[in-house]
Amino acid sequence: MKKSNKIKAFLIIFFIVIFSVITARHFIGLHFKKKFSVRPAPAVIVSSVEKSLFYKSIETFGTALAQNSKIYRVKKDNILGNLKIENRFVRKGEIIVALKNQENIIAEFNGKLGKREIAQGVLGTDSLIITLDDLKKIVIDIKVPENYVGALKTGLKVEVSNSAFKKVFNGKVDSVSSRIDPSTRSILARIIVKNSNFEIIPGQLMTVKIIYDEIEQLGVPESAVTIQGDTSFVYIVKDNVVKKKIIETGKRNFGKVSVLSGVNKGDQVISEGITKVRDKAKVKILKPNNK
């Protein structure tokens, strides 16, 4: 009898322990499921939809030339006094070189002087070459493919650069030839570039960008646009909720894409983190310097 009671007590305790373990595992599972099943909202960076300037461009190369240039040849033994030429600026009417025969060389326009020796063995080695260049404006003659004839016209804005400078010089198309060269299938155009600080010097090879078809349109960063087949779309964020918007795109400049329809000025589009979001999902907006 006592043995039977002991067995019953053991079985009761055993089942209580098993039930406790099962119950505990159930509630622990619910706790962790609740804790980890809800993922935090992904962090994204947004950009505001705003108007930007978009355009098309023609890019080519050309050699910089002084707008006005003059070369003087002088005999060394005819120079009166010390010769001061290199990096010297003169004004129109100023004496460039005083000569013993009193036929002084006079500056015909404002400009910068330079000189070069005549190589040994060349007839007249007792002479030197003096140059006068007007550098306030630089002339660049370029050849443009004939397929741009419809876009090329005087007055267009031009951006000029060179690897020697960390800046862009502004210019304009001054003239366009009336004929196409049949041998190169190109048309000649002249560019005038402002050079008030005399940074560009004659002979430099310059990169020339002619700007045309300028227009101001709404734009978004290229990184904000997703393309699937023939469809382009962006994700707009409002009250931390994502909304997918199909858009029609246009020109691309400066890392931006013009948007012809689908968004409004001031809309906040996701520019970074779009791979982590989906339509109608919640997101956390970060500032760009916190990424």
pLDDT greater than 60 at residue 36? no
| Residue 119 DSSP label | P
With CA atoms as reference, report the closest residue to 205 among 162, 155, 261.
162
CB distance 189 to 175 below 8 Å: yes
Is the pTM of the predicted complex or chain greater than 0.95? no
User: Which residues lie across from 52 on neighbouring strands?
Assistant: 217
- Taking Cα atoms as reference points, which of 112, 114, 206 lies closest to residue 164? 206
CA nearest to 181, candidates 155, 144, 151, 207? 144
Per-residue CA distances from 151 to 39, 57, 61, 65 (Å): 54, 10, 18, 25
Kindly indicate the confidence band of residue 10, based on its pLDDT and cuts at 50, 70 and 90: low
How far apart, in whole angstroms, are the C-alpha atoms of residue 206 and residue 203? Answer: 9
Q: Would you state the pLDDT for residue 149?
A: 93
CA 60, CA 189: separation in Å to the nearest integer?
A: 11
Average pLDDT, the chain: 85
Query: Cα 244 to the chain's mean position, in Å?
Result: 29
Would you say residue 127 has pLDDT above 60?
Answer: yes
Choose between 20 and 64: higher pLDDT.
64
Both tokens of residue 130? 């003096």
Could you tell me if 247 and 257 are in contact, meaning their C-beta atoms sit under 8 angstroms apart?
A: no
Distance between CA atoms of residues 173 and 153, nearest Å = 7
> pLDDT band at residue 115, thresholds of 50, 70 and 90?
confident
Structure tokens at 25: 């595992």
* pLDDT score recorded for residue 253: 84
Q: CATH number for 69-134: choose from 3.30.70, 2.40.50, 1.20.272, 2.20.28.
A: 2.40.50
Task: Please give the CATH topology (third level) of the domain spanning 43-54+216-290.
Answer: 2.40.420
For 56-62+137-214, give the CATH class: mainly beta
What amino acid is encoded at 76 in this protein?
Answer: K
Say whether 263 sits in a helix, a strand or coil.
coil
| Range with the largest mean pLDDT of 90-94, 170-174, 223-227 | 170-174
Give the separation between CA 153 and CA 191, rounded to whole angstroms.
11
What is the pLDDT, as a whole number, of residue 290? 45
87-116: average pLDDT: 87
For residues 77-95, average pLDDT: 84
- What pLDDT, on the 0 to 100 scale, is given for residue 178? 92
**Identical topology for domains 43-54+216-290 and 69-134:** no
Read off the pLDDT of each residue in 257-262 and give the average, rounded to a whole number. Answer: 92
Compute the half-sphere exposure of residue 27: CA atoms within 13 Å on the CB side of its CA.
Answer: 5
- For residue 179, the SS3 value is strand
Q: Where are the domains of the chain?
A: 43-54+216-290, 56-62+137-214, 69-134
Strand ranges for the chain from DSSP E? 43-48, 50-75, 89-90, 95-97, 105-106, 111-117, 127-145, 157-161, 169-181, 186-194, 205-221, 226-228, 231-238, 241-253, 256-261, 268-272, 284-286
pLDDT tier for residue 33 given thresholds of 50, 70 and 90? low
